[in-house]
Structure 1
Amino acid sequence: MEQVLLAEPRGFCAGVDRAIEIVERALEKFGRPIYVRHEIVHNTHVVNDLKDRGAIFIEELSEVPPGATLVFSAHGVSQAVQREAEARGFRIFDATCPLVTKVHVEVAKLHKEGYEFIMIGHKGHPEVEGTMGQLDSGIHLVEDVADVAKVQPAQTDKLAVVTQTTLSVDDAAAITAAVKARFPNIRSPKQQDICYATQNRQDAVKLLATQVDAVVVVGSPTSSNTNRLRELAERLGVPAYMVDDASELQDAWFAGRSSVGVTAGASAPEDLVQGVVQRLKALGATAVRSLDGVRETTKFPLPKGLKIEADPA
């Protein structure tokens, strides 16, 4: 192995940064334990680190004692979960990514105007459950092009499409095209729902794949956007391996390969990337270089009640 090329951008996005900081600030301000509904972000190392610091991750609100502090994960929650949490009297902080909240707001607004929805996403993913749970009915989930033909909305005069924010950009485009072919008058969002970070990381992999013999994607198997990065590299003809950290790397993956690319999903910390780089150096890589890419400057504000007095805001 001669060189390691690093995709740019990679790793944490603004929504993940904000979600983790919300839990950290809550622990700092209110003390342990802090309860978090679902994994705050889909990364094993992040979750375990917060567990060590006093966060308790739960799925059912019945697991949270009265009067406790509760954080909703970055993926968002349904209206039913929000109502139950409020009824139980918890101190609540919502770490839902603002780009997911944007989709929720769009759904609520158009529902009042009489719209039904087709949602492009993965069944069972917490973001999809949260978005579909904004309404009691009227959101039809499609996971692939074949599903589009099965959708039976109650009416087609007012129909809108929304998308899980962490999908493959190319897959979502193909499904959206099928949706528009069947429902030509369907309403699309003013800006696509797939988030800027998902788009940027996928674009970076497209550039990376043209210059390497294999790609390592750092991230956890539960992370949708991380899985899409691995799939994209493979679709471009490059062997791709997803690892939680450097300990999962296998020497045989790199036999006879002179150039290896490394990227990370939006919920993977940079120190895990650097651990992979060090392991690749131990296997013989003599040069490490970052590719040019989009510089991300987005930052989302924290909820009221968690800002420290020194904060400019």
Structure 2
Amino acid sequence: MVTLKQIAEICGVSVSTVSKAMNGQPDVNPATAERIRKVARDLGYRPNAAARSLKTKRSYLIGVLFADQINHEYFANVLDSIRNTAMDLGYDIMFVSDRVGNYKMSFYNHSAYRNCDGVIIMEARFEDPEVVELAASELPIVVLDHVFSGCVSVMTDNVASMVEIVHYVAGMGHRKIAFIHGQENGYITQKRIEGFYKGCMELGIRTPAEYIVKGKYHDPEASAEATKQLLSLPDPPTCIIYPDDYSYLGGLRVFEKRGLTVPDDISVVGFDGIDLASHLRPRLATYRQDAQKIGEQAVIKLIEQIEGPMKKHEEQVYVSGTIQPGKSVKKIG
């Protein structure tokens, strides 16, 4: 078996330099590091994970808590980014669950059982006592789309994103703008509602209370019912903002049944920026969340806590997205 010492002798450097180069540490000349890694590849060197863990007291294993089915393209893209970033930085990932075989255990106990260095809470019922226990534990934690006291949170800037959407729609001449939002108890929903009102206030738009309607994320049926409610108003909106791109399909179905066309009769905007938005006709205007950056930041912020000097702490990291104009908002006025 090829050893670091043999690679060091061939390259004419110290064993510590070889170790640093193989672990991607920045204090090695880039050309030297690449030469060391090439020699290691040519010799068929394979790092000894057990030896590395023994030396560093770390497992190089990141837990990911996703308590629902991964059937949402946005979350799938974030997860893909988490996996790739973790691999690039020398870590593996595993899913945290509430059981091993038939043995029931808490999310925290499963993370400890698998010896995770830290956990990314990606999607869960944040009020669940087991999720709260995990977030409050001594483990380094990063939470996506929620804020827990004492934890790092990574998310889209939901206030700024809604302000940007409202300004875009108003810039197309619309003043009667409605918003179908997700579950009211969620942190993200609260921030998006705040952003919607903030954008309207900045533009002097008075929004009737009946223009703000409860729906559900990733639920076309809930959006269909909300759309019917809005279209039945004596003075219906000219533009509807949906909780996400997929939920908009429910609204589209209602429009088709009523003989309405987008954007001639009604304008619409989605949220997330998934591929679906670009395949709809007309192409859906939407706010694209930067799933790759969110996943990258989640891993980087977790490893900062694992490896130091930033130990577990509270911080909110906001990632900007972009408006994708599409063809679903009509210019009026």
State the TM-score, normalized to the length of structure 1. 0.37
Relative contact order, CA 8 A, sep 6+: which one is greater? Answer: 1
Which structure would you say has the larger Rg?
2
TM-score, scaled to structure 2: 0.35
